Amino acid sequence: MPIYAFMCESCGHSFDKLQKLSDPDPETCPNCGQPTLKRQVTAPSFRLAGGGWYETDFKKDGDKKRNLVGDSATPAPTPAPAPAPKKDD
């Protein structure tokens, strides 16, 4: 179950709540009782790095890894710079 952060717009009280995705958000502030709670946007506590998931990530080191994301995980080639405009003499 995810942990959501809430903040009261009336008194500024903030708190976290562990709840299911299907549970409704609380409506009243537990500190002041006003119906002015808003869910806050928070950053996740983990980061995915690298070019994608590999089907052999959990296999022996001798096995060849294949990127499951495909070619979309490799960055596009940098386009060549446009030629400089010609000056008229």
Total count of domains within the chain: 1
Q: Using the 8-state DSSP alphabet, how is residue 68 labeled?
A: S
Distance CA 79, CA 11 (A): 53
Does 13 fall in a domain? yes
Distance CA 67, CA 15 (A): 41
Does 17 fall in a domain? yes
Between 42 and 54, the more confident residue is 42
Does 47 fall in a domain? no
Does 86 fall in a domain? no
| pLDDT at 13 (0 to 100) | 95
Distance CA 80, CA 40 (A): 43
Does 31 fall in a domain? yes
Q: What are phi and psi of 9, to 5 degrees?
A: -75, -15
- 2 pLDDT band, cuts 50/70/90, is confident
| pLDDT at 84 (0 to 100) | 76
Least confident of 7-16, 28-37, 80-89: 80-89
Q: What is the pLDDT of residues 16-25, one digit of tens each?
A: 999 998 999 9
